[in-house]
Protein backbone atom coordinates (compact mmCIF):
# COMPACT_ATOMS: atom_id res chain seq x y z
CA UNK A 1 0.00 0.00 0.00
CA UNK A 2 1.28 3.51 -0.87
CA UNK A 3 2.64 5.33 2.19
CA UNK A 4 0.30 8.33 1.88
CA UNK A 5 -2.80 6.09 1.63
CA UNK A 6 -1.60 4.11 4.62
CA UNK A 7 -1.21 7.36 6.61
CA UNK A 8 -4.82 8.28 5.79
CA UNK A 9 -6.08 5.06 7.36
CA UNK A 10 -3.79 5.44 10.37
CA UNK A 11 -4.95 9.05 10.96
CA UNK A 12 -8.59 8.08 10.57
CA UNK A 13 -8.25 5.20 13.06
CA UNK A 14 -6.25 7.38 15.49
CA UNK A 15 -9.03 9.99 15.53
CA UNK A 16 -11.66 7.33 16.16
CA UNK A 17 -9.65 5.67 18.95
CA UNK A 18 -8.87 9.01 20.61
CA UNK A 19 -12.56 9.80 21.03
CA UNK A 20 -13.50 6.23 21.87
CA UNK A 21 -10.98 6.18 24.74
CA UNK A 22 -12.29 9.50 26.07
CA UNK A 23 -15.86 8.21 25.83
CA UNK A 24 -15.05 5.02 27.73
CA UNK A 25 -13.07 6.87 30.43
CA UNK A 26 -15.88 9.38 31.03
CA UNK A 27 -18.56 6.67 30.94
CA UNK A 28 -16.75 4.64 33.56
CA UNK A 29 -15.73 7.55 35.79
CA UNK A 30 -18.92 9.66 35.50
CA UNK A 31 -21.33 6.75 35.29
CA UNK A 32 -23.29 8.03 32.27
CA UNK A 33 -23.37 5.98 29.07
CA UNK A 34 -24.26 9.23 27.27
CA UNK A 35 -20.53 10.05 27.24
CA UNK A 36 -19.79 6.88 25.27
CA UNK A 37 -22.45 7.66 22.62
CA UNK A 38 -21.42 11.31 22.49
CA UNK A 39 -17.73 10.64 21.84
CA UNK A 40 -18.44 7.66 19.59
CA UNK A 41 -20.50 9.97 17.39
CA UNK A 42 -17.75 12.63 17.33
CA UNK A 43 -15.07 9.99 16.67
CA UNK A 44 -17.03 8.50 13.77
CA UNK A 45 -17.80 11.94 12.29
CA UNK A 46 -14.11 12.93 12.53
CA UNK A 47 -12.64 9.69 11.23
CA UNK A 48 -15.05 9.36 8.29
CA UNK A 49 -14.32 12.95 7.23
CA UNK A 50 -10.56 12.37 7.50
CA UNK A 51 -10.85 9.15 5.51
CA UNK A 52 -12.88 10.85 2.78
CA UNK A 53 -10.40 13.73 2.71
CA UNK A 54 -7.59 11.26 2.16
CA UNK A 55 -9.17 9.23 -0.61
CA UNK A 56 -11.01 11.92 -2.59
CA UNK A 57 -9.12 13.47 -5.53
CA UNK A 58 -7.34 16.83 -5.32
CA UNK A 59 -9.81 19.73 -5.32
CA UNK A 60 -12.62 17.56 -3.93
CA UNK A 61 -10.93 16.55 -0.68
CA UNK A 62 -12.44 19.50 1.10
CA UNK A 63 -15.83 17.73 1.11
CA UNK A 64 -14.46 15.27 3.64
CA UNK A 65 -13.76 18.15 5.98
CA UNK A 66 -17.12 19.78 5.31
CA UNK A 67 -18.93 16.54 6.13
CA UNK A 68 -17.24 16.40 9.54
CA UNK A 69 -17.91 20.11 10.11
CA UNK A 70 -21.63 19.64 9.40
CA UNK A 71 -22.00 16.41 11.40
CA UNK A 72 -20.25 17.78 14.50
CA UNK A 73 -21.43 21.39 14.14
CA UNK A 74 -25.12 20.48 13.88
CA UNK A 75 -24.81 18.01 16.75
CA UNK A 76 -23.04 20.44 19.08
CA UNK A 77 -25.21 23.46 18.34
CA UNK A 78 -28.52 21.76 17.51
CA UNK A 79 -28.63 18.76 19.86
CA UNK A 80 -26.37 19.72 22.77
CA UNK A 81 -27.02 23.47 22.53
CA UNK A 82 -30.61 24.09 21.49
CA UNK A 83 -32.21 20.80 22.57
CA UNK A 84 -30.20 19.84 25.67
CA UNK A 85 -29.66 23.52 26.58
CA UNK A 86 -25.94 23.25 27.27
CA UNK A 87 -24.12 26.57 26.83
CA UNK A 88 -21.01 25.63 24.85
CA UNK A 89 -20.04 29.28 24.36
CA UNK A 90 -16.96 30.53 26.19
CA UNK A 91 -19.23 32.25 28.74
CA UNK A 92 -20.80 28.85 29.49
CA UNK A 93 -17.32 27.47 30.11
CA UNK A 94 -16.50 30.29 32.54
CA UNK A 95 -19.85 29.94 34.35
CA UNK A 96 -19.64 26.15 34.75
CA UNK A 97 -15.99 26.38 35.78
CA UNK A 98 -16.80 28.95 38.48
CA UNK A 99 -19.72 26.80 39.64
CA UNK A 100 -17.40 23.77 39.85
CA UNK A 101 -19.59 21.77 37.46
CA UNK A 102 -17.24 19.51 35.53
CA UNK A 103 -19.56 18.43 32.75
CA UNK A 104 -20.97 19.84 29.50
CA UNK A 105 -19.17 23.07 28.54
CA UNK A 106 -16.19 22.47 30.87
CA UNK A 107 -15.51 19.01 29.45
CA UNK A 108 -15.99 20.32 25.93
CA UNK A 109 -13.46 23.10 26.43
CA UNK A 110 -10.95 20.93 28.26
CA UNK A 111 -11.05 18.26 25.54
CA UNK A 112 -11.56 20.22 22.29
CA UNK A 113 -9.97 23.54 23.10
CA UNK A 114 -7.24 22.82 25.66
CA UNK A 115 -6.11 19.17 25.90
CA UNK A 116 -6.93 18.17 22.31
CA UNK A 117 -4.80 21.01 20.94
CA UNK A 118 -1.67 19.22 22.18
CA UNK A 119 -2.46 16.44 19.71
CA UNK A 120 -4.46 18.01 16.88
CA UNK A 121 -3.65 21.74 17.19
CA UNK A 122 -6.58 23.92 16.17
CA UNK A 123 -8.31 21.18 14.19
CA UNK A 124 -11.48 22.08 16.08
CA UNK A 125 -11.50 25.37 14.14
CA UNK A 126 -10.93 23.65 10.82
CA UNK A 127 -13.15 20.62 11.23
CA UNK A 128 -15.79 21.00 13.92
CA UNK A 129 -16.74 24.57 14.87
CA UNK A 130 -20.40 25.36 14.19
CA UNK A 131 -19.71 29.03 13.44
CA UNK A 132 -17.11 28.03 10.84
CA UNK A 133 -19.54 25.41 9.50
CA UNK A 134 -21.64 28.35 8.25
CA UNK A 135 -18.99 30.90 7.26
CA UNK A 136 -17.03 28.33 5.27
CA UNK A 137 -19.95 28.28 2.81
CA UNK A 138 -19.48 31.99 2.07
CA UNK A 139 -17.68 32.75 -1.22
CA UNK A 140 -14.44 34.18 0.20
CA UNK A 141 -12.55 31.05 1.30
CA UNK A 142 -9.44 32.40 -0.38
CA UNK A 143 -8.73 35.69 1.45
CA UNK A 144 -8.43 38.73 -0.82
CA UNK A 145 -5.93 40.46 1.48
CA UNK A 146 -3.23 39.59 3.97
CA UNK A 147 -3.88 39.91 7.67
CA UNK A 148 -4.71 43.31 9.04
CA UNK A 149 -2.09 44.30 11.56
CA UNK A 150 -3.23 44.68 15.18
CA UNK A 151 -6.87 43.66 14.45
CA UNK A 152 -6.07 40.33 16.12
CA UNK A 153 -5.91 42.20 19.44
CA UNK A 154 -9.73 42.36 19.30
CA UNK A 155 -9.93 38.65 20.19
CA UNK A 156 -8.07 39.30 23.47
CA UNK A 157 -10.40 42.19 24.27
CA UNK A 158 -13.36 39.92 23.50
CA UNK A 159 -11.94 37.19 25.76
CA UNK A 160 -11.62 39.54 28.73
CA UNK A 161 -15.04 41.15 28.09
CA UNK A 162 -16.64 37.66 28.12
CA UNK A 163 -14.88 36.89 31.38
CA UNK A 164 -15.91 40.27 32.81
CA UNK A 165 -19.56 39.64 31.80
CA UNK A 166 -19.54 36.31 33.62
CA UNK A 167 -17.92 37.79 36.72
CA UNK A 168 -20.51 40.58 36.67
CA UNK A 169 -23.37 38.06 36.44
CA UNK A 170 -21.68 35.98 39.09
CA UNK A 171 -21.33 38.70 41.68
CA UNK A 172 -24.23 40.98 40.68
CA UNK A 173 -26.92 38.37 40.06
CA UNK A 174 -25.66 35.63 42.39
CA UNK A 175 -25.97 32.87 39.79
CA UNK A 176 -25.14 30.30 42.42
CA UNK A 177 -28.37 31.14 44.25
CA UNK A 178 -30.48 30.31 41.18
CA UNK A 179 -32.34 27.04 41.17
CA UNK A 180 -31.27 24.40 38.64
CA UNK A 181 -33.99 25.35 36.14
CA UNK A 182 -33.22 29.10 36.18
CA UNK A 183 -29.48 28.40 35.97
CA UNK A 184 -30.04 26.37 32.79
CA UNK A 185 -32.41 28.96 31.32
CA UNK A 186 -29.90 31.75 31.92
CA UNK A 187 -27.18 29.72 30.21
CA UNK A 188 -29.50 28.95 27.33
CA UNK A 189 -30.29 32.65 26.86
CA UNK A 190 -26.57 33.44 26.76
CA UNK A 191 -26.12 30.67 24.18
CA UNK A 192 -28.88 32.03 21.92
CA UNK A 193 -27.78 35.67 22.18
CA UNK A 194 -24.09 34.73 21.86
CA UNK A 195 -24.63 32.65 18.75
CA UNK A 196 -26.83 35.25 17.08
CA UNK A 197 -24.09 37.82 17.68
CA UNK A 198 -21.30 35.48 16.50
CA UNK A 199 -23.08 34.54 13.27
CA UNK A 200 -24.08 38.14 12.52
CA UNK A 201 -20.63 39.62 13.13
CA UNK A 202 -18.86 36.73 11.38
CA UNK A 203 -20.96 37.04 8.20
CA UNK A 204 -20.80 40.86 8.07
CA UNK A 205 -17.04 40.90 8.66
CA UNK A 206 -16.49 38.20 6.01
CA UNK A 207 -18.50 40.23 3.49
CA UNK A 208 -16.71 43.50 4.27
CA UNK A 209 -13.18 42.06 4.21
CA UNK A 210 -13.92 39.42 1.52
CA UNK A 211 -12.50 36.83 3.86
CA UNK A 212 -14.56 33.94 5.27
CA UNK A 213 -12.30 33.52 8.28
CA UNK A 214 -12.02 37.21 9.27
CA UNK A 215 -14.02 36.53 12.44
CA UNK A 216 -11.62 33.70 13.37
CA UNK A 217 -8.58 35.90 12.76
CA UNK A 218 -9.69 39.01 14.59
CA UNK A 219 -12.75 38.65 16.82
CA UNK A 220 -13.37 35.14 18.16
CA UNK A 221 -12.03 34.76 21.74
CA UNK A 222 -11.54 30.97 21.59
CA UNK A 223 -8.08 31.05 19.94
CA UNK A 224 -6.76 32.86 23.03
CA UNK A 225 -7.06 29.48 24.77
CA UNK A 226 -6.32 27.25 21.79
CA UNK A 227 -3.10 28.94 20.72
CA UNK A 228 -1.37 27.89 23.95
CA UNK A 229 -1.59 24.14 23.41
CA UNK A 230 -1.48 24.17 19.63
CA UNK A 231 2.02 25.63 19.70
CA UNK A 232 3.12 22.23 20.98
CA UNK A 233 0.74 20.07 18.93
CA UNK A 234 2.08 16.81 17.61
CA UNK A 235 0.13 16.95 14.31
CA UNK A 236 1.30 19.77 12.08
CA UNK A 237 1.42 20.57 8.38
CA UNK A 238 4.69 19.74 6.58
CA UNK A 239 5.89 20.27 3.00
CA UNK A 240 8.30 17.95 1.20
CA UNK A 241 10.83 20.67 0.42
CA UNK A 242 12.74 18.91 -2.35
CA UNK A 243 9.63 18.38 -4.47
CA UNK A 244 8.18 21.90 -4.16
CA UNK A 245 7.92 23.89 -7.42
CA UNK A 246 7.13 27.09 -5.45
CA UNK A 247 3.91 27.79 -7.34
CA UNK A 248 2.62 29.56 -4.21
CA UNK A 249 -0.88 28.06 -4.47
CA UNK A 250 -0.80 26.75 -0.91
CA UNK A 251 -0.15 30.22 0.55
CA UNK A 252 -2.65 31.97 -1.73
CA UNK A 253 -5.41 29.54 -0.77
CA UNK A 254 -4.69 29.30 2.94
CA UNK A 255 -7.71 30.86 4.69
CA UNK A 256 -5.51 31.89 7.62
CA UNK A 257 -2.72 33.53 5.55
CA UNK A 258 -0.04 31.18 6.84
CA UNK A 259 3.47 31.63 5.41
CA UNK A 260 3.89 27.99 4.48
CA UNK A 261 6.90 28.55 2.22
CA UNK A 262 8.83 30.40 4.91
CA UNK A 263 8.48 27.39 7.18
CA UNK A 264 9.46 25.06 4.36
CA UNK A 265 12.57 27.10 3.54
CA UNK A 266 13.54 26.95 7.22
CA UNK A 267 13.14 23.17 7.19
CA UNK A 268 10.28 23.48 9.67
CA UNK A 269 6.75 22.23 9.83
CA UNK A 270 4.03 24.89 10.02
CA UNK A 271 4.48 26.07 13.58
CA UNK A 272 1.96 28.90 13.42
CA UNK A 273 -0.79 28.67 16.01
CA UNK A 274 -3.00 30.41 13.47
CA UNK A 275 -3.09 27.20 11.43
CA UNK A 276 -6.53 25.63 11.79
CA UNK A 277 -5.59 22.29 10.24
CA UNK A 278 -8.19 22.71 7.49
CA UNK A 279 -5.78 21.15 4.97
CA UNK A 280 -6.90 23.44 2.16
CA UNK A 281 -3.17 23.60 1.33
CA UNK A 282 -3.12 19.79 1.04
CA UNK A 283 -6.24 19.92 -1.12
CA UNK A 284 -4.77 22.50 -3.53
CA UNK A 285 -1.10 21.48 -3.90
CA UNK A 286 -0.53 20.28 -7.51
CA UNK A 287 2.47 18.18 -6.46
CA UNK A 288 0.66 16.43 -3.59
CA UNK A 289 3.58 17.11 -1.24
CA UNK A 290 1.83 18.67 1.77
CA UNK A 291 0.55 16.52 4.59
CA UNK A 292 -0.06 16.29 8.30
CA UNK A 293 2.91 14.72 10.09
CA UNK A 294 3.27 13.65 13.69
CA UNK A 295 6.39 14.84 15.55
CA UNK A 296 7.38 16.87 18.57
CA UNK A 297 9.00 20.17 17.63
CA UNK A 298 9.05 23.29 19.73
CA UNK A 299 11.31 26.26 20.23
CA UNK A 300 11.37 27.58 16.67
CA UNK A 301 10.04 30.88 15.40
CA UNK A 302 6.30 31.22 14.81
CA UNK A 303 5.78 33.49 11.78
CA UNK A 304 2.75 35.72 11.58
CA UNK A 305 1.55 37.16 8.34
CA UNK A 306 0.54 40.80 8.26
CA UNK A 307 -0.63 43.04 5.45
CA UNK A 308 2.77 44.20 4.25
CA UNK A 309 4.23 40.77 3.66
CA UNK A 310 1.14 38.85 2.57
S1 LIG B 1 -11.69 30.85 15.68
FE2 LIG B 1 -13.65 30.74 16.78
S3 LIG B 1 -15.26 30.92 15.22
FE4 LIG B 1 -13.33 30.47 14.17
S5 LIG B 1 -13.35 28.28 13.97
FE6 LIG B 1 -12.20 28.69 15.84
S7 LIG B 1 -13.72 28.60 17.49
FE8 LIG B 1 -14.85 28.75 15.54
S1 LIG C 1 1.27 24.32 -3.54
FE2 LIG C 1 2.72 22.63 -3.32
S3 LIG C 1 4.15 22.89 -4.97
FE4 LIG C 1 3.05 24.82 -4.82
S5 LIG C 1 4.31 26.08 -3.41
FE6 LIG C 1 2.86 25.00 -2.14
S7 LIG C 1 3.94 23.14 -1.49
FE8 LIG C 1 5.04 23.96 -3.25
S1 LIG D 1 -1.54 26.04 6.58
FE2 LIG D 1 -2.90 24.58 5.51
S3 LIG D 1 -3.97 23.57 7.17
FE4 LIG D 1 -3.08 25.39 8.07
S5 LIG D 1 -4.69 26.94 7.91
FE6 LIG D 1 -3.43 27.12 6.07
S7 LIG D 1 -4.46 25.87 4.53
FE8 LIG D 1 -5.28 25.27 6.54
- Whole-number pLDDT of residue 84: 85
In a domain, 254, yes or no: yes
The rounded Å distance from CA 256 to ligand 1 centre is 12
Confidence label for 2 from pLDDT (cuts 50, 70 and 90): low
Lowest mean pLDDT of 175-179, 188-192, 194-198, name the range: 175-179
Looking at the CA of residue 249, tell me the nearest atom of ligand 2. Answer: 1
Burial bucket for residue 132 (CB in 10 Å: 0-12, 13-18, 19+):
buried
Higher pLDDT, 91 or 219: 219
The string of DSSP letters for 35-77 reads HHHHHHHHHHHHHHHHHHHHHSPTTTTHHHHHHHHHHHHHIII
Is residue 105 pLDDT above 50, yes or no? Answer: yes
Confidence label for 309 from pLDDT (cuts 50, 70 and 90): very low
Lowest mean pLDDT of 4-8, 47-51, 141-145, name the range: 4-8
Confidence label for 104 from pLDDT (cuts 50, 70 and 90): confident
In a domain, 33, yes or no: no
Taking the CA atoms of 240, 245, 249 and 255 in sequence, report the sign of the dihedral they define.
positive
State the average pLDDT over residues 223-234: 94
Give the pLDDT confidence of 249-273 residue by residue, as tens digits.
999 999 999 999 999 999 999 999 9
CA atoms within 13 A on the CB side of 200: 6
Which residues lie across from 239 on neighbouring strands?
290
The whole domain housing 298 covers 233-309
Contact between 226 and 117 under an 8 Å Cβ cutoff? The reply is yes
CB atoms within 10 A of CB 107: 20
Contact between 89 and 197 under an 8 Å Cβ cutoff? The reply is no
Q: Which protein residue's CA is at the shortest distance from atom 1 of ligand 1?
A: 216
Question: Number of structural domains, the chain?
Answer: 1
Give the pLDDT confidence of 113-166 residue by residue, as tens digits.
999 999 999 999 999 999 999 999 999 999 988 899 899 999 999 999 999 998
Q: What is the pTM of this model?
A: 0.92
In a domain, 291, yes or no: yes
Confidence label for 308 from pLDDT (cuts 50, 70 and 90): very low
In a domain, 226, yes or no: no
In a domain, 56, yes or no: no
Q: Which protein residue's CA is at the shortest distance from atom 5 of ligand 1?
A: 125
Higher pLDDT, 290 or 7: 290
- Whole-number pLDDT of residue 223: 96
Element holding 27 (H helix, E strand): helix 3-30
Counting ligand 3 atoms within 8 A of each CB, the residue from 276, 283, 293, 303 with the most, and so the one to mutate, is 276
What is the domain-level CATH number for residue 298? Answer: 3.30.70.20
CB of 223 closer than 6 A to ligand 1? yes
- Whole-number pLDDT of residue 310: 39
In a domain, 35, yes or no: no
CB atoms within 10 A of CB 307: 12
Is residue 51 pLDDT above 70, yes or no? Answer: yes
End-to-end CA distance of the chain: 39
Amino acid sequence: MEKKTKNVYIDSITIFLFFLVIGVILWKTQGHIFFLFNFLYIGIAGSVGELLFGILPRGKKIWGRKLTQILIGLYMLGVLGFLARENMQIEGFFIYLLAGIFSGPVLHFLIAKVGGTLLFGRAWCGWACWTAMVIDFLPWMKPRHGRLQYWGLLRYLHFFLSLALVLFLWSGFKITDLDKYSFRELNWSILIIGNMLYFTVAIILAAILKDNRAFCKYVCPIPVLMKIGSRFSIWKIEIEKDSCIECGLCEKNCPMNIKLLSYMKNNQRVLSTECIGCQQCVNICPENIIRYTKKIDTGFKEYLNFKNNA
